[in-house]
């Protein structure tokens, strides 16, 4: 296969397959954690092959270091530190830091802007 951008329909299929794999990983985690890790591995392979990102809702559900599927309360700890979400991987000890919801900041800003406008009247 040649390198470069894939047609959109191909990327859509890759994303759908990644969603299916992560859903399965979630479902089987309690009974077969090793299968979950295999699903993550497959999903990441798709992500590389199609040069597309792991869907946002799943991007926090696997360890970027050891590629284990993470389930809060089972093999990872999620903590809010300052304005970051810290995800501590219980498998390898890696900590992932994810900036906490940009949307919230935007909303606050919108509120501030509208208040300012009212005051200007």
By the criterion CB under 5 A, which residues form the site for Zn ion? Answer: 63, 65-66, 89, 91-92, 94
Q: How far apart are CA 11 and CA 32, in angstroms?
A: 29
Which residue's CB is nearer to Zn ion, number 65 or number 113?
A: 65
Q: How far apart are CA 46 and CA 26, in angstroms?
A: 18
Report the half-sphere exposure of 83 (CA within 13 A, side-chain side).
Answer: 6
Phi, psi at residue 93, to the nearest 5°? 85, 0
Q: How far apart are CA 60 and CA 49, in angstroms?
A: 20
Which residue's CB is nearer to Zn ion, number 14 or number 89?
A: 89
Which residue's CB is nearer to Zn ion, number 34 or number 65?
A: 65
User: Minimum Å distance from CB 79 to Zn ion?
Assistant: 16
Q: At what angle do helices 33-49 and 8-28 cross, to 10 degrees?
A: 170
User: Minimum Å distance from CB 69 to Zn ion?
Assistant: 10
User: Minimum Å distance from CB 15 to Zn ion?
Assistant: 24
Which residue's CB is nearer to Zn ion, number 28 or number 91?
A: 91
User: Minimum Å distance from CB 11 to Zn ion?
Assistant: 27
Q: How far apart are CA 22 and CA 16, in angstroms?
A: 10
């Amino acid at each position: 296969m040649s390198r470069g951008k894939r047609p959109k329909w191909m990327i859509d299929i890759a994303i759908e397959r990644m969603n299916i794999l992560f859903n399965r990983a979630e479902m089987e985690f309690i009974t077969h954690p090793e299968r979950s890790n295999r699903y993550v591995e497959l999903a990441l392979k798709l992500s590389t092959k199609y040069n597309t990102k792991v869907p946002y809702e799943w991007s926090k559900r696997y360890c970027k270091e050891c590629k284990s599927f993470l389930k809060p309360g089972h093999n990872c700890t999620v903590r809010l530190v300052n304005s970051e979400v810290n995800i501590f991987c219980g498998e390898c000890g890696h900590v992932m830091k994810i900036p906490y919801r940009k949307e919230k900041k935007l909303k606050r800003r919108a509120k501030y802007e509208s208040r300012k406008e009212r005051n200007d009247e």
